[in-house]
Amino acid sequence: MKRVTKSILVAIAITSVMVAFAGCSKKSAAGNSADKKTLTYSRSQGPYTVLFESGVKPILEAKGYTLKGYDYSELALADDAVNGGDVDFNVEQHTAYAQNYNKGNNGKLVPITPIPTVPASMFSSYYDSADAIKTLSKPKVAVPNDPANTARAYVLLQKIGWITLKDGVDLSTVTSEDIASNPYNIQFTEMKSLNIPQVQDDFDFVVITGAIIYNAGIDASTSLAKETVLPHLILQVVVREDNVNTQWAKDLVAAYHSKEFQKYLESTNYENGLFWIPEDYQFNYE
């Protein structure tokens, strides 16, 4: 009996050591070290992952980093991964989205630098100028139906003089109820953003946002109007708050602001001017 008891105690001790070791290994794999050289990030089927992997990743690799990307079908799941420490960062969201995620999920996400952003734009299968609306009696216009992008669409249409919005309205939360005047008698149809490119021929004009322009294979240079990208809609590199001051996060920011990345943007004129560069963006020439 004593031998059995002793054997059990030894087994428990060994198991405890193995669990402790596994825990340390998992923590190490998650990459909580401030000076680590292997970075993980979430990937999506859109222009921001492509821009990162083709223009920024090589700069980091030249500094000795190893980058590993993991695919996520939804941005919310990608944010869960960053927030939970499964990946280190992502490059797929603007400030407003990160803030909303934090509020709804007790999140700790922090944007650390703005990055080139695809603005919402207006397109037409039939007209080559926004002025064509003056010749139409009841023009049909499709806009996104999700709140953030609905607001972007109506703000864009106010910018080009098609509608006016009520005084003092919050431009980040505009809805059709905030339209004060519609002098061209536009018939608006709000629909899922992803579906708009597929039905573009059914409308006189359509407003298409960000990554959807890229994913639909639309030539950005054919747009008839582009939004003025408001601060809360500028895309960001996002990390968890406890990683903001790590060396790798600083190197990630520096890569986006490097002269090498600027040369990449200039040499490719990426996707016919698809990207808008934040006006106060600073490139480093050291």
pLDDT tens digits, one per residue of 155-210: 999 999 999 999 999 998 999 999 999 999 999 999 999 999 999 999 999 999 98
β-strands 121-123, 225-226 pairing: antiparallel
Predicted model pTM:
0.80
* N residues, the chain: 286
DSSP code, position 284: B
The helix (H) or strand (E) run that includes residue 181 is strand 179-181
DSSP code, position 52: I
Distance of alpha carbon 225 from its chain centroid, rounded?
21
Which is nearest to 112 in space by CA: 41, 208, 165?
41
β-strands 179-181, 164-165 pairing: antiparallel
β-strands 187-191, 121-123 pairing: unpaired
Q: Kindly report, residue by residue over 130-169, the tens digit of the pLDDT.
A: 999 999 999 999 999 988 899 999 999 999 999 999 999 9
DSSP code, position 123: E
